Amino acid sequence: MPETRAIALLDSVADEHDAVGVYALFSGGDDSLANALLTSRAQRFRACVHLDTGIGIPETQEFVRETCRDQGWPLLVYRAKDCGQDYDALARQHGFPGPAAHFRMYIRLKERPLEAFVRSQKRHRHDRLVLSTGARRIESERRMGHVQPIRRDGVKLWVNPIHDWTKAQCIDLIAARGARRNPVVELLHMSGECLCGCFAKPQELNEIGLWFPHVKARIDALEEEIRAAGLKACRWGMRPPSSHGHAGRDSAGRISELCQQCEFVWET
């Protein structure tokens, strides 16, 4: 059974490295929800972890909180702002980021909160943490070959239990467990937990505004500030005027488990 194999993978990695815990990275999307439902059954499961980028749809964070409460999962939230990273302030200083800046945005908005989480859980030098994500190998042709079941990065043991699952399997698992899907995903087909805009689709902001006008209003106001400051990169989701061609190698060549969906959905 796919579920049994996924849980066994988490348990075997945790046992092999004597990990201090297994943690589900929970963004609020369908894949991360299915993954959390599986990860919560691992022997060393400790909590779900949500990284608050500071530029996401609030309803998704509320969904994460409600789901963890309903399922009885401990939830740990780590905020980019608490790590000195404020998306609005960065945009006011540099303008909105484009594809070439994505890796830098990942470092600021996700990796720094993630490292704060690791520091909070690590007690000894040789401690290891299993980080379980919902990254799937077959989500798109461009993702093929990038998602591996296991990857070690220092103290972090990245495990993708559903790497070979289909979207239908994820939805079926959610339904079988009686869990509620994120309404944001049902409306926008994405979790909206990070709206940095680096790989935004054309008209994405208008689509967001159709269902979540308060989110668009916030970004519109930020656009006005940046335009008034005279910065060229003053439109969210648009490639900055100085960017040409494909995303820079520094950004596109290093793919994170936490940003694969937006990176591979983006079509150059």
Report domain extents, the chain. Answer: 2-265
DSSP letter at 107 equals I
- Residue whose entry in the numeric block shows the structure tokens 């980028």: 53
Q: Using one digit for the tens of pLDDT, what is the confidence trace for 8-38? A: 999 999 999 999 999 999 999 999 999 999 9
Beta bridge partners of 52: 79
> What strands lie across the sheet with 21-25, from one edge to the other?
75-79, 45-52, 21-25, 129-132, 156-159, 150-153
Residue 262: its pLDDT value, please? 61
**Residue 260 CA from chain centroid, whole number:** 8
pLDDT tens digit string along 125-157?
Answer: 889 999 999 999 876 444 445 667 899 999 999
DSSP 248: P
| Domain 2-265: CATH class, spelled out | alpha beta
DSSP character at residue 152: E
* pLDDT of 241: 75
**pLDDT lower than 50: segments of the chain:** 140-144, 244-253, 264-268
Which of 196, 26, 1 minimizes the C-alpha distance to 94?
196
pLDDT of residue 250: 41
pLDDT of residue 141: 43
What's the predicted TM-score (pTM) here?
0.91
